[in-house]
Chain A
């Protein structure tokens, strides 16, 4: 979860519009190539999934996806370019800060030469885990460190992976090793909106409550007490 400003939360609780932009970087993210704003973006959407199937499970490492179409102009989008979509809220008078909505890499692209609109599809860093491991039997912590160092990823500091020894991981991909670690940790891997690897434990998903909340999830209190609702 990202920290957002009070302005963002205030705008979110009222009538607001969402503005978007898309930053395009070189593959390694070291250099920005172009920024496309709402006057150039035709469509922009991301698709997220925690579980590999349509029911709660563990041991998953599912890649998020992005679909975008925009007027590319004369900009040359590099092969496997890194994409960072952003969004912010506005009510016409006040504008929030830009909030990052993921880190993706271009997988496929198609250009309409009549309109100049480029349509791309991409995946987040989870797909880059499809690489053969070279380490021998070692601890999960060492393997995670090796994977992150090799791919240039960072672990989200909320990640609490089980400490186990992974035997004979040589013939497995990074992704399969991550899935094993997720399985013994009773969780699933995702890539967060700021592009860090996070292990989401199954018991870390908030329990359902009957506390009355406003439309952004804050508990509504009465005289300082939370209000319970009854399901009939």
Chain B
């Protein structure tokens, strides 16, 4: 079991994590290029991106996980090693993975199965 915290909209994923990573997505609001081709960057923004996958799970858990993620924008508590205190709390994040490709939606029996794919959450604020 990985010793990290991950709760999404109140549902705890911590104990069922298979992989987990937090990275910074760096972007700049402006890039200016001089006539000599020299680039200068302005307005750096670091945005947290959480990527995780789960261990094989039951149909019930898969359905509950799917329901916790399906809203698109979720409230997340997650471990961030570079953050003072270790855990960032109540962070608004967007689910940017295609959930239908990560969770298999079986229309015949109406059940959801987790297929083992990675789920990516991207912070709304920087």
A41 contacts which chain B residues (CB < 8 A)?
Answer: 34-35
Distance, CA A20 to CA B37, complexed state (A): 13
B38-46, B99-107, B108-116 - the one binding chain A:
B38-46
A38 contacts which chain B residues (CB < 8 A)?
Answer: 34-36
A-B contacts counted at CB < 8 A amount to 29
Distance, CA A114 to CA B40, complexed state (A): 12
Distance, CA A39 to CA B30, complexed state (A): 17
B35–A42 contact, CB under 8 A?
Answer: yes
Quick one: given A71-B40, A114-B43, A115-B40, are A44 and B29 in contact (CB under 8 Å)? no
Q: Which of A49-75 contact B (CB under 8 A)?
A: 71
A42–B36 contact, CB under 8 A?
Answer: no
Q: Shortest distance in angstroms between B35's beta carbon and chain A's nearest beta carbon?
A: 5
Interface size class of B (residues with CB under 8 A): 10 to 19
B34–A42 contact, CB under 8 A?
Answer: yes
| Cβ 8 A contact of A40, one of B29, B34, B43 | B34
A43 at the interface (CB under 8 A from B): yes
A117 at the interface (CB under 8 A from B): yes
Interface size class of A (residues with CB under 8 A): 10 to 19
B33 contacts which chain A residues (CB < 8 A)?
Answer: 42
B35–A20 contact, CB under 8 A?
Answer: yes
A44–B35 contact, CB under 8 A?
Answer: yes
A43 contacts which chain B residues (CB < 8 A)?
Answer: 35
Distance, CA A115 to CA B39, complexed state (A): 12
Distance, CA A160 to CA B12, complexed state (A): 90
B26 at the interface (CB under 8 A from A): no
A114 contacts which chain B residues (CB < 8 A)?
Answer: 29-30, 42-43
B36–A39 contact, CB under 8 A?
Answer: yes
Q: Which of B5-47 contact A (CB under 8 A)?
A: 29-30, 32-36, 38, 40, 42-43
B29 contacts which chain A residues (CB < 8 A)?
Answer: 114
Q: Whose C-beta in chain B lies nearest to the C-beta of A114?
A: B42
Q: Shortest distance in angstroms between B88's beta carbon and chain A's nearest beta carbon?
A: 28
Distance, CA A43 to CA B32, complexed state (A): 10
Q: Shortest distance in angstroms between A13's beta carbon and chain B's nearest beta carbon?
A: 23
Q: Whose C-beta in chain B lies nearest to the C-beta of A117?
A: B32
Q: Shortest distance in angstroms between A14's beta carbon and chain B's nearest beta carbon?
A: 21
B34–A39 contact, CB under 8 A?
Answer: yes
Complex interface bits, B82-108 against A, C-beta within 8 A gives 1, otherwise 0: 000000000000000000000000000
| Cβ 8 A contact of B32, one of A37, A42, A44 | A42
| New A-B contacts (13) at CB < 8 Å, excluding given A41-B35, A114-B43 | A37-B36, A38-B36, A39-B36, A39-B38, A41-B34, A42-B33, A44-B35, A71-B32, A71-B40, A114-B30, A114-B42, A115-B42, A117-B32
Q: Give the A-binding residues of B (Cβ under 8 A).
A: 29-30, 32-36, 38, 40, 42-43
Q: Give the B-binding residues of A (Cβ under 8 A).
A: 20, 37-44, 71, 114-115, 117
9 contacts between A and B (CB under 8 A): A37-B36, A40-B34, A42-B33, A71-B34, A71-B40, A114-B30, A114-B43, A115-B32, A115-B42
